[in-house]
Amino acid sequence: MRRFWGTGTGGYAAGPRSYEPVRNWQEEWHDEKSFGGINFETRCWVKRYWSDFGCPVSCMKVAMVKAGPLKGAITDDPDYELQAYCGANLGIFDPEGCVYVSTVIDDLGLSGINSANTMG
């Protein structure tokens, strides 16, 4: 499962509720079903199994917002940390919003984990 969806499924490993920071660790658990590996795959992935030359694992995915006002935002698919900090930590529980925030932070040349943690 982890190789297919990456570490983004890690938040749901403990059961039906996710353990991710919510609103800057004001809460630690959420049960938003719209936010998880399968939803990123079906709604945002545009390329699976991408890697740099010579990498034997090829586990990175490319994600893009395909419709709506955030359409066109493209980045590597957020892993557990970026899903946590660019998503639940900021109160964002939809894959498109998380991909958009991750894209903006990437475009600014900043660290997604540190920047989103500071914003939270």
List the chain domain ranges.
2-119
Residues 50, 57 contacting (CB under 8 angstroms): no
| Token reading at 50 | 């991408």
Q: How many residues does the chain have?
A: 120
Residue 113 pLDDT level (bands cut at 50, 70, 90): confident
User: Structure pTM?
Assistant: 0.77
Residues 89, 22 contacting (CB under 8 angstroms): yes
Lowest mean pLDDT among 13-17, 29-33, 36-40: 13-17
Report which residue type is found at 57.
V
pLDDT of residue 15: 47
Question: For domain 2-119, is the CATH number 1.10.260.40?
Answer: no
pLDDT of residue 109: 94
Sheet strands (E) in 1-120: 18-22, 27-30, 45-50, 60-64, 74-76
Give the tens place of pLDDT for each residue, 66-81.
999 999 999 887 777 8
Residue 4 pLDDT level (bands cut at 50, 70, 90): low
